[in-house]
A and B are shown apart, each in its own frame.
Chain A
Amino acid sequence: MKIKIIALLFVVVGWSSCSDFLNYDEVSQYTEEQVFTNFDRTKSFVTNIYSYLESDFCSIDGAMRASGCDEAVHVWNSSNIHTFTNGTWSPLNTVDDVWAYNYKGIRAANFYLAKGTGRLFEEYKYADGYANNMLRYNNYEWEVRFLRAYFYFELVKRYGGVPLITKMLTPEEANNTARASFDECVKFIVEECDTVAKYLPISYGSNYNTETGRVPRAAAYALKSRLLLYAASKLHNPENDVEKWKAAAKAAKLVIDSAVVFKINNLQMYELIPNNINCAEVIWDRREGMQGNFEKLNFPIGFEGGNTGTCPTQNLVDAYGMKTGTYSLTAPYTNRDPRLDKTVVLNNTKWAYNETVEAWEGGNSGLPKTGASPTGYYLKKYLVKDVSFKPSGNTSFLHTWVMFRYGEILLNYAEAVNEVFKNPNMKDAEFTKTAIEVLNIVRRRTLVLMPNIATTTTYDDFVEIVRRERFVELAFEDHRFWDIRRWMIGDKTTDIYGMKIVKDGTKFIYTPQKIATRVWDDKYYYYPISQAELNKNKKLTQNPGW
């Protein structure tokens, strides 16, 4: 009898002690040690940091940031993009709120810099390609530091000064960190750019396994150029301190002077800039791989698969100059700056599927059809014409977003040096080219060949000319939205115009008309910080006016 009881007890004890069963777990993840002792995994950790880079292929709720300023109108009312312009923007109702997103990138970078650097991967010492791998590995540190600086740039252009974090925070620290000033942030980013530029390679050749797409040296200088230009502009330089303009001009000049070394000096045919990883003019791009979603979102309604999204405004179209002759409403698109036709889909021209765009009233892509462009224009730049949503079509084409290109740097220089001398025709030993000379390089690019700017142009005229040139040359490359802010001309961009197009027999009657008046408030120069963030971190302060 006793034996039986003992046997039963065994069953009981055996039952409760088999803990392996309860430790069952399908491991799919790595520990910190596993990540940073293996070259490939360390590389993957850096790859993830790159993935936080943004592009604007309709990144805001299906709309481009361009539709948040006078560059374009987003046709669908449901998109959050309208929050920028309809007066509902507030700390409780944010839009394009990338605060947390960029801090994720910054955290990943800080993590890498704290834990991932200084490794030797000794286990792999005798493996093939060790030296090459170490060359690449040692460069990661500079890439990551640049990326972190870039994420800060994304934040400061929106919010002004932000908490400057260069280590991994604990929850307590996160809730107790105040904002640094705008100037402190600028100083940090510039210093980082200067430091990493010393180490970053000019290009990623075979010793780097030809991994183009990583940060090249010129990108660090280009970021510095753009940042210092922003910092010198009215919004951040209300006293108009000329030293700031000098710094901006110098930063641009540095890129221009080294352009041949960086192999970026060759201004290409205008239409070859987007979606082209081999464009010589492009300093650095954000790569999106093969896709067709941008076309889905922007092909005109009435085209198979098209849904209309970004509709360029008459305000933009008006900014394009005449190449020859004078402007006429009966043929408003004849003899215009050739860049217009590369940027905007014009009425009654051939577009995707080699079909004609009928943007006139009653046309296949015209009002009053639901989803038809209210401006009479559709977006062309960055769209791949060959994308096809027909059943047998190919919806997958290369997309890359231009982060920096030489054309922008030239415009940065032209704008800054005009401010340094208060004269677009002046140069000196330091600034060896005049603003007009440099601007003309842009205007005279291959197959654009717009007339040169007259040397009689005054400082004030040139301010307008360079602004217009930026609007045109950099259209839909995510510049206008920020330029409006740094120039503080928001209140002058509220009237939005479109083109009313009526078909009369075989002719068209064009009538520009105002289609919207947008809300502007001077507090819009900075984004509001989300109220939820202010609630969690009592040391954070809100931007003025919000």
Chain B
Amino acid sequence: MKATSIISKALLGLSLCFCFEAMEAKDVVGFVKNKYGEPVAGAIVRSENNATKITFTNKDGMFTLGIENGERIQIESVDYSKITVTPTDVNNIVLDKTTYAVQMGNGLIQSKKESTASVGLITSDDIMKSSSMLLGNALYGRGLGLTTLQNPGFPWGDNPSVFVRGRNTITTNSPLVLVDGIERPLNSVVREEVETITIIKDAPTLALYGMRGSNGVILITTKEGIFNGSQIDVSYDHGFITAKEMPEMVDGPTYAKAVNEAQTLDGASMLRFNDAELKAFENGQFPNYYPNVNWLDQIFGNKAYQNIYNITMRGGGQKVRYATVVNLQNYTGMIKPTNTLEGKSSQLMSSKLNVRTNLDINLSKTTNFKIKVLGSLLEYNRSGTSETDFIPLAYNTPAIAMPINTSTGEWGGSDTWKKNPVAEVAARGYGKSNARTLYADWTLKQDMNKLLKGLSAEARFAFDSYAQYWEQVSQTYRYERNTMKFDLAATKPDSLAVLPNSYVATIFGQNSIPTYSTQVSSQWRRLNAFGKINYNRIFENSKLDANLILQHDQYVQTGQHQTYNRQSIAAYLHYGIKDRYFVDGSFTMSGSNRLQPGHKFGYLPAIGASWIVSDENFMKSIEAVDYLKIRASHGLTGSDYVTEVNLWEQTFGTGGSYYFGQDISKSVSGLAEQRTATELLKPEISTKSNVAMELRMLKGLELTVDLFYEKNSNILVSSEGGISSIIGVGNAYENAGIVSNKGIELSLSYDKKVGDFYYNAGANFTFYKNKIINRNEEFRQYDYLKRTGRPVGQIFGYQAIGFFADQTDIDNSPTQMFSNVMPGDIKFKNQNGDEVINSYDQVALGYNTDCPEIYYSFFVNVEYKGFGLDAMFQGVGNYTSYLNTNSIFWGMRNSYYNISQHLYDNRWTPENQNSLYPRLTTLENANNYNTNTVWLADASYLKLRNCEIYYRYKLNKYGITGIKTFVRGTDLLAFNKFNVVDLETYSKSNSGAYPNSSSINVGMTVSF
């Protein structure tokens, strides 16, 4: 059956239920206050079942609304983002964090108090404290349970890595990211569009996401219209971006000396540079032949700029509410060389325009219709050589490699280093990309009280599409290689004598005519249909919220086997007694085309419960405790991740090719047996348990503690580790992997308002520990080599115990079976006591390199009469990095990488044996350059992510209602355990990175 026919059936079902009903109403008078006891003015008060019954609180927080007996009242206030409460006591309605309406996805909205779920919340206010162009980069330290880790690269291009509750599997650990309930990339929306972000962490709610839920969910909800009139915010944010912590590379003379030193220590018979040449590097007399170029300085400036322009318009009335966000961002990078093509740029630049319109329309008294549309245009510009190619060149090319230009004006060239970094940026053409995004979804909600009291139905249809188009102008350049020789006999210490006629200049390559090419580099589309039937009743002592949820999702990407079809049906029950005891139950049946026919569906039951202890009579006497809740949950979530499609089949596909016949320019393709079939492919199941306590005390202190344990089983692992390769065919997979993960999440905050003085401080802390219980590991000779029993991603390597002092030291030590060792090479600890050091001597070292076990943040916000200070620190612990970045740490070696000043200053020499790093070498040296403790560093850090001073001013002139101006610093301060370079930037790839930066932003928002 096709998706469309299902939708039409759903709509038919709904249209059958259109009904109108008039009820007898009576007036209720109530008061709304905030947590400080101050009246909340201008809040919307309305009947939950009838959106046309609506009123607003006056300046005393009072309202009068005509409602039917037993009908619930919803209260929304702009100041508290969007809060919906269902008050029992209308005379004292308090808006605070417990009344906060939490978006749980699947159209479920629950007040924080009633919920049994473990969620992390991020509000629009939180993310607007950042000036990042990417939404993901505004999330550091936000949302309890979310680990957001910066990746190196461009402020506009590189998404952070995100994990919900750390790692729980050896396969993929990416959380599901939803925008308005539909799976969409995290960074497609901008900060200004976002109302709230919910991090969903435990079973009853995650189970509803079926085969997509086991890694957690990040649910982004965009801004909707507001009831009372209109509000226009116009803002501008300008960022002054400064590169920081660029590693310093050695200059030409030092590099030349270092090469000779390395060769001497290698025992080479002939050194690369003679004395005259060393001197020529020193005095710079022959820049054509003996150059000295600081390539990093030539490629990167240290300033970049960004601008963010935004207009947000929100408003509406009883019939229609609207929210429109128009957001324009642009970024100009730090690349220095000018493009040789006239009028074209080599600069890394981007600009992005997002236009969003969300409409919320009451079609009738019982029918509500919502439309959300986002259109986005994104443009990039770069040089003809992509940044992933030229950035490594900037780091890895030593100062002596070649001149930028020779004296004849040609590009400089070299045998050993092949590519001229500046020419690669300036003279290879340019590349441009255009990406277009369209997201649209329509939701129809029908009240069906007439049919059955408390019954309503909802249907949503979404269509998303994305395409990125690249155009590229490519060209090659010609370059000159120069050589000359010194007359060593005639050279004196103070003057260099050149051999006559020894100058040779050879031209290589050619300046080609620019060629143009275009391609669609990626595209995808998604169709999503969602339906829900809801039965929501309040009885005398209890309330019931029952939901039947259907979901149907198709995602089609460029390429073969890139269609993901998924379906699920779920029941979700929320039942509360006396507003103190709540029980949630969910049952989901979820299927995916990635899974085996006949076993396409997984069944995921889950339950949760909470108890508001503070509402019990015995607690009423304890004055200090304002609120105490205990909750627990347990259940199953799933994942349909597979290593490749159709694992359950033995198939025959492309094999090796061969050449037959007399014309052997063309090969004949072969057909081969593929890996053997997996017997019964099952979805990965994560069993999650959670217990927690929420406490509010002393009218301002808040504490949340969550403890959880989860166990992922049926993880797909290869059976290869156990089967001899004489079988001669790729092995099947098995659902045999098991990983457990447990952790604690703590959140503590305090806020207080004394007159005009307001302050707020808090901290989040999370600690996660996972363990591989089974992964079909191959046989290991020693227990300490086993990966099983260790965390996912545990580093294994050799324990360095110093450097070999001399040949005697080498002779007296066990043989190290990696490469020839010389004095100055790393000496390893013998773990098994045999005569040699080989892979049996690896042990678990440090932690892992992709997800820290400890992630924490703390913040403070002080405000007095509109002047405010806001700061947020974020840090990680139990985290390790490889120091294997070429040139910076792994310098010179076989490929003649550059070396950093840090490496040079801390290398082993016969005179300085107490060094950080081993001797220099021009050889590959597998002994030194492997995973060992010399090249591992504690990657813990604490960073001041945001710090701002602002001034808020309320006025009522020229139509302006308020102004906010700010000066904001991003990443101004960092405390790193390893403080040579920023490991967040330089440890993620071994080939250098676009410079990390800090920025100062100034901005202003004017509200009308």
Binding site for B on A (CB under 8 A): 1, 3-5, 7-8, 10-12, 14-26, 28-32, 34-35, 41, 44-53, 76-78, 82, 86-88, 90, 92-93, 99-100, 103-108, 110-111, 163, 165, 169-171, 174-175, 177, 209-214, 277, 287-290, 301-302, 304, 361-362, 364, 367-371, 390-392, 398, 400, 515, 531-533, 535-537, 540
Contact = CB atoms under 8 A, between A and B. Distances in A.
Contacts of A88: 817-819, 926
A369 B271 CA distance: 9
Interface string B526-556: 0000010100000000000000101010100
Contacts of A110: 728
Interface residues of B, number: 107
A105 B670 CA distance: 13
B452 to A, nearest CB: 8
B656 A52 contact: yes
Interface of B: 1-3, 5-6, 9-10, 12-13, 16-17, 269-273, 415-416, 451-452, 457, 476, 483, 485, 504, 508-510, 512, 531, 533, 548, 550, 552, 554, 560-561, 563, 565-567, 569, 589, 591-593, 595, 597, 600, 645-646, 649-653, 655-662, 664-674, 719, 721-729, 731, 778-779, 781, 815, 817-820, 836, 838-840, 893-896, 922-926
Nearest 6 CB-CB pairings of A with B:
A51-B656, A107-B728, A48-B670, A48-B655, A18-B1, A29-B651
A11 to B, nearest CB: 5
A45 B451 CA distance: 66
B533 A8 contact: yes
Given A11-B9, A103-B728, A391-B512, A362 B485 contact: yes
A304 B895 CA distance: 18
Given A44-B669, A45-B670, A174-B723, A7 B660 contact: no
Contacts of A531: 781
A103 B13 contact: no
Contacts of B512: 391
B652 A34 contact: yes
Nearest to B266: A77
Nearest to B726: A103
Contacts of A78: 893-895, 924
Given A78-B895, A103-B726, A213-B661, A370 B415 contact: yes
Contacts of B818: 88, 93
B13 A11 contact: yes
Nearest to A27: B646
B892 to A, nearest CB: 11
A47 to B, nearest CB: 4
A368 B728 CA distance: 46
A4 B591 CA distance: 27
Q: Which of B653, B723, B725, B838 has the most CB of A within 10 A?
A: B725
Contacts of A8: 13, 457, 533
B670 A21 contact: no
Contact of A51 (B657, B723, B838): B657
Given A44-B671, A51-B658, A289-B665, A24 B561 contact: no
Contacts of A17: 1
B559 to A, nearest CB: 10
B924 to A, nearest CB: 4
Contacts of A5: 451
Contact of A211 (B416, B591, B661, B719): B661
B148 to A, nearest CB: 34
Nearest to A303: B415
A445 B865 CA distance: 103
B723 A48 contact: no
13 contacts: A8-B457, A22-B567, A22-B591, A31-B652, A45-B670, A51-B655, A76-B894, A88-B818, A104-B729, A175-B723, A370-B415, A391-B512, A398-B664
Contact of A174 (B476, B509, B727, B839): B727
Contact of B593 (A12, A25, A51, A93): A25
Nearest to B506: A364
Given A47-B658, A175-B723, A370-B415, 8 more contacts: A22-B593, A25-B646, A44-B655, A77-B894, A103-B727, A169-B726, A304-B509, A391-B476
Contacts of B3: 21
B659 A287 contact: yes
Nearest to A112: B673
Nearest to B665: A290
Nearest to B658: A50
A44 B656 CA distance: 9
Contacts, number: 292
A130 to B, nearest CB: 20
Contacts of B10: 11
Given A29-B652, A107-B728, A7 B13 contact: yes
Contacts of A104: 728-729
A213 B728 contact: no
Interface centre among A21, A364, A392 (most CB of B within 10 A): A21
B272 A537 contact: no
B105 to A, nearest CB: 19
Contacts of A51: 655-658, 670
Contacts of B12: 7
A480 B5 CA distance: 72
B658 A287 contact: yes
B991 to A, nearest CB: 16
Given A4-B13, A7-B12, A29-B653, A536 B670 contact: no
Contact of B661 (A30, A34, A210): A210
Contacts of A93: 817-818, 838-839
A4 B16 contact: yes
A32 B567 contact: no
Nearest to B894: A78
Name, among B554, B669, B671, B731, the residue most crowded by chain A CB atoms within 10 Å (CB to CB).
Answer: B671
Contacts of B591: 22
A16 B569 contact: yes
Contact of B726 (A46, A53, A537): A537
A32 B719 CA distance: 23
A15 B569 contact: yes
Contacts of B922: 77, 370
Contacts of B820: 86-87
Given A211-B660, A532-B778, A32 B652 contact: yes
A31 B653 CA distance: 9
A15 B553 CA distance: 12
Given A20-B1, A370-B416, A535-B778, A277 B664 contact: yes
Nearest to B10: A11
Contact of A23 (B509, B593, B668): B593
Nearest to B728: A107
Nearest to A8: B13
Contacts of B548: 12
A177 B728 CA distance: 13
B924 A108 contact: no
B402 to A, nearest CB: 13
A374 to B, nearest CB: 9
B893 to A, nearest CB: 8
Nearest to B732: A171
B671 A533 contact: no
Contact of A26 (B560, B815, B839): B560
B838 to A, nearest CB: 5
Nearest to B559: A26
